[in-house]
Structure 1
């Protein structure tokens, strides 16, 4: 049952609950969504766990590139856990209410991790640029200290950019408490606020412009230099593999950035349209599924390490039996 509050009167924030509409009100559609998204969620988490585990246990994957991939996989697991478990639970049980503290926590963690994802993508593209375009300097430039500082910088920058505009969302809420989304999205919350939210929308727009076009510029320049370097290499198997890998990375980058830029870089964030939910589904679900398989599991060294571990595991099982 949808319930509301008297328009024009601030609501006790501690007692406030929101109703998250979701993607559909049809029970049968929700069951189909539950099955499909459960499979996607499982594959996403298992793919990232595989990358994380391989990069930790295999001595051949202890290089700088895999340090970034390890952090990226951990970030992707956490990002998937922010929305999907609760959304799947609501699809299965049709319980759509969420408390204000729970909604605010989901909102803060979602945007913090999401922002950190874009910084990590830019950082990994820069790592590939140094490795391919300046291989002799790679060990000096991308040493352990620099890598740690880069990862720490991603988290610090994400927090500084996201926490202020997210904090000011805790405003008086009036009217209906219905969030037209499948998670606590900031645009839907702004729609429920009693006061003028123009300053918050401006803060969000500035943060989005810094994060999205900023990291995209680094990514495009890095991969552009990588492609130019690969094109100057005589036709070899190694060059073709590097070109194929970069092409796959760029496809994920295009999907991720196009959907997110369309969603968040626009003058007005107040209000949520149904099409926004579809766009959000792309960068919340689709790209999360592709990332571990494109960035890591297509890598020859990772595939070799995976085969070695499976081979050793099967040999041990056969010896025991």
Structure 2
């Protein structure tokens, strides 16, 4: 149309982005590469192990572990959506990424990050039902309900993240240098021309639906869990109830703590280097910690791991 020519004269079309990452700091590069590679391998190995153990052991075929294996699968996908790419590009002076790949990477990691936010909220609800209504737990959280909840989580995250990005294209005014090592949404939105509808809508979705809403839901669940646990008479039962929640609470605190800090603090046009460090913590360390937190604190999973190891020796 007539508008196309107008826009083309103003801006050069952005066809690729340059990812700065740590290319300006060669002394950091080697350490960064080594660290990230270890994180990635451990994340994939640890989470795969959890999925295998839960599948193999029929005692672990309960809602809590069904959601936990969803979380592990999610963590494998999330880290795979950006870590191998960053590792491959690590030592280049000017790592570039095509416009389409950058968009795909941003969309996929946003989608998986949102799914994790919602999944952690469902896991809190599961613990709440288990503790406040133990006798009807299996009825309330039937297999069908769990499946519907899981599908609902993935589907709503998809609608909240992928749809706005696909529906509303953003415009970049010739700015194509991303001060980050991955096409992370905030780093990318800093380059968008004006306040395009996309950045406003995505900002709204992140700042209401995916962080504060599920987080508030988790808080309410936990306040009610604590109230229910305090009503339990026996100390042993109290401790057991708290320990099944402890793992989940640890994961929630780390994940939401860093995410809320990253996404709800006032944004400046410059991305400071500390953003990259926080992103590593939130994007690489948390997915790696999940299996650790859940296995170290959990007798059932430890038992199942022993059985799996023992079974291998016998056969």
Identify whether the pair has TM-score above 0.5, normalized to the shorter chain: yes
Contact in 1 for aligned 2:247/2:297 (Cα 8 Å): no
Q: How much has 1:92 moved relative to structure 2?
A: 4.4
CA RMSD for the aligned pairs? Answer: 2.3
Aligned to 1:211: 210
Is the partner of 2:97 in helix, strand or coil? strand
Q: SS of the residue aligned with 1:135?
A: coil
3-state SS of paired residue (2:135) = helix
Residues in 2 aligned to 1:45 and 1:104: alpha-carbon distance in whole angstroms: 24
2:231 aligns with 232
Structure 2 gaps, min length 5: 1-7
State the shift of 1:53 in Å.
Answer: 0.4
Check the 8 A contact 2:110/2:185 in 1, yes or no: no
Alignment CA distance shift 1:304-1:115 (3 Å): same
The Cα shift of 1:267 comes to 5.9
Q: In the alignment, what sits opposite 2:5? A: none
- TM-score, structure 1 normalization: 0.88
Deviation of the 1:228 alpha carbon: 2.3
**Paired residue for 1:3?**
none
Which stretches in structure 1 are left out of the alignment for 5+ residues? 1-5, 317-321
When structure 1 is superposed on structure 2, of 300-309 and 285-294 the one drifting more is: 285-294
How far apart are residue 128 of structure 1 and its match?
0.8
Alignment of 1:133-282 (within 5 A): 133-167=132-166, 170-193=169-192, 195-208=193-206, 209-266=208-265, 268=267, 271-282=270-281
State whether residues 19 and 97 of structure 2, in contact with CA within 8 Å, keep that contact through their aligned partners in structure 1. Answer: yes
Distance 2:201 2:313 in 1: 55
Question: Quick one: distance in 2 between partners of 1:250 and 1:9?
Answer: 48
Partners in 1 of 2:182 and 2:111 — Cα distance? Answer: 15
What is the alpha-carbon distance in structure 2 between the residues aligned to residue 103 and residue 170 of structure 1? 13
Inter-partner Cα distance in structure 1 for 2:266 and 2:31:
35
Q: TM-score, normalised by structure 2?
A: 0.89
Describe the shift of the 1:132–1:19 C-alpha distance in structure 2 as closer, same or farther (beyond 3 A).
same
Alignment deviations for residues 24-59 of structure 1 (CA, whole Å, 9 cap, x no partner): 522231111111121111111111101100111112
Q: Which segments of structure 1 move beyond 4 Å, counting only runs of 4 or more?
A: 92-95, 266-271
Distance in 2 separating the partners of 1:271 and 1:152: 38
